[in-house]
Amino acid sequence: MPWPDLVDESATVVVDDLSMRYHVTADADEAGLGRTARTVRALVGRGPSMIVRAISSVSFVAHGGEQIGIVGQNGSGKSTLLRVVAGLERPSRGRVLATSQPVLIGVNAALQPELSGAQNIRLGCLAMGLDPDRARAAVPEVAELADLGDAIRRPMKSYSSGMAARLRFAIATAANPHILLIDEALATGDAAFRERSEARMEALRRDAGTVFLVSHAARTIEETCTRALWLEHGRVVLDGPAADVALRYRRFAWALAKNRPNQARKIIDAARQAHEEVAVHVLRTPAPRGIARHARPRVRPRTPAGVTARTREEI
């Protein structure tokens, strides 16, 4: 099929054939090794190693104005994908191109437990590149979005997980990031905070930014996202309109929960068939300030400049 020769200036993130493998030490007793091999490994102080394939050959193009939900079972690679897109980990293969630095809000975002909420706001803003004056000036607005009342002056170690999540979200949006990655950060917020945070994400998106949201709640994805990616064993099962992907994923999860593996398999097979594979060909970097991040050379040499994606939407 001929691919449309379109140049799409709205691309914000290009994920090109991304794979992430981890080498981990396995339990020697469970690794199926013979007694001699186990003894030798014990003597040299090395357990048998295993490869965990967290993400395999993931490719997609994200655009300004999209809010992309990422769904999938536990261990399907959602958080790993966000960490690699944020540049916190270097992929084993493939690359991520982004028009600006993606900001990740995760439950483990590094804030200082001994410092107060207000001090952490300043610290977080400085870490995101705001100068000291702007970081100080941002405190009231960020504190208002977090809505923690007097607790903003208390050390963060005294916060509940929901309060800490609110603060992290508010800090991450302070620098108006063009690309925002959210890993379940909203799950612990109460209803009022959820509404405020959704309004904030909507404002970022309207500003032609791109928001990625990892959530186990298919309904949240359906209600707040424009598009969704379903991951299973590190691979993309389906990439499409949020309502369609979330509905299929919900049916799949329901079938698994009801111990109906055949039904679940049929649902996931149908989703895979509906998925259009993406192959990204980079001919030039995305406008306006494309930066190549954490690239690992591929085995095959590639065309060096520009981005064209052999998809419905080319960039």
Q: Which residues bind ligand ATP (CB under 6 A)?
A: 22, 24, 52, 54, 72, 74-80
Residue 232 CB, shortest distance to ligand ATP, in Å, is 9
Residue in the structure block whose two tokens are 């079938």 = 255
| Smallest gap from residue 21 Cβ to ligand ATP (A) | 9
Identify which of residues 64 and 69 has a Cβ nearer to ligand ATP in the complex: 69
Q: Which is nearer to ligand ATP, 6 or 52 (CB)?
A: 52
Of 145 and 264, CB closest to ligand ATP: 264
Return the number of the residue (25 or 112) whose C-beta is nearest ligand ATP. Answer: 25
Distance of CA 137 to the CA centre of its chain: 29
- Closest distance to ligand ATP from the beta carbon of 23 (Å): 8
**Strand pairing partners for 140?**
none
Could you tell me the smallest distance in angstroms from the CB atom of residue 297 to ligand ATP? 23
- Nearest alpha-carbon partner for 211 in 235, 188, 186: 186
Q: Smaller CB distance to ligand ATP: residue 20 or 309?
A: 20
Structure tokens at 22: 């981890």
- Give CA torsion, residues 149, 154, 158, 161, to 10 deg: 40
In the complex, least distance from residue 187 CB atom to ligand ATP, rounded to whole angstroms: 11
Strand extents, DSSP E, the chain? 11-25, 49-63, 67-72, 93-98, 103-105, 179-183, 210-214, 227-232, 235-241, 279-283, 291-296, 306-310
